[in-house]
Amino acid sequence: MIMGLEYAFMRHALAAGTAIAVVSAAVGYFVTLRRQAFAAHALSHVGFAGAAGAILLSLDPYVGLFVITFLAALGLAWSGHRLSERDVGVGMILMFSLGLGVLFLNLYTANAQAAMSILFGSIVGVTTGQAWLSVGVAIGALVLLAAMVRPLLYMSLNEEAAAGRGVPVKWLNTLFLGLLAITVAIAVPIIGALLIFALLVGPPAAAQLLSKNVLAGILTAVALGVGETWAGIGCAYYIGYPASTWIASLSFLVYLGTTAIGSWRERGSKDSTAAMAAGPAGKGF
């Protein structure tokens, strides 16, 4: 059977991986558009600290992931109005969460495998409950994103103009960062805190190089994310090595390819413009 679909763990991995890839690509499109990749990076490390703390307290890692990551998102949202202030807030939260995560792992040494799963993910170890949770949370996150997509896009393109038109910029930014926190929380156990960028930033960044249309860009990002996830799981099944490593590597290669395509398109556009400008001059007009 293709990709071992006769095995329950493969079906769980594909279901959870697909759900996470879709929501990560959709949310990640606005992360890259709003230049908040650093915030996504920080929240993934906050998730690492939250999950490690939950394990230390003998709680479900998902509890620590959701609670701590969401609280950190609220802190980021209210850390400052200007970009420089936000970057300082993100940096401080990142530094603090990394320190906490290392402390928790040093205090809890009984289960090294759990720590490795937090850092690098364990997509082939997804249980039935985790798969259903990932799918359910992903659907809820997508519904929320769809409800706020128009004002969010307006705010992402011109925050000052959006505020002038009455868009509640502060609250919308808080809501979006909360949505980002939820996305990170469901993705960390699958792809890992260190490799979350592979799905959250890689496909959207590549899609924005391929299409300037928002809807087409989001759909392209989703297609790339799902394709990379399935290919990564397939490579892990047939070749070996962790699926998260394959997914991250494929995301990187796809981004390099789209960068090359974007450069080629831009060069061709400049050459066409130059030829059109030189044409009339060459004819003596």
Amino acid of residue 110? A
User: Taking the chain (285 residues) in consecutive chunks of 10 residues, what is each chunk's mean pLDDT?
Assistant: 72 90 94 84 81 79 82 77 58 74 70 67 80 91 93 86 84 89 84 80 92 91 94 88 87 91 70 56 48
Q: How high is the pLDDT of residue 283? A: 53
Does a structural domain hold residue 74? yes
Q: How high is the pLDDT of residue 84? A: 46
Does a structural domain hold residue 193? yes
Q: How high is the pLDDT of residue 26? A: 94
Structural contact between residues 194 and 168, judged by C-beta atoms closer than 8 angstroms:
no
| Of 232, 230, 235, 211, the residue nearest 221 (C-alpha) | 211
Three-state secondary-structure class, residue 165: coil
Q: Which residues of 214-246 are buried (b: 16+ CB within 10 A; e: fewer)?
A: beebbbbbbebbbebbbbbbbbbbeeeebbbbb
CATH code: domain of residue 40 = 1.10.3470.10
* 37-56 helix and 169-191 helix, angle to the nearest 10 degrees: 60
Number of folded domains that form the chain? 1
DSSP secondary structure string, 106-128? HH--S-HHHHHHHHH--GGG--H
Cα angle 200, 203, 207; round to 5:
130
Q: How high is the pLDDT of residue 1? A: 47
For 126, other C-beta atoms within 10 Å of its C-beta total 24
Enclosing domain of residue 133: 2-278
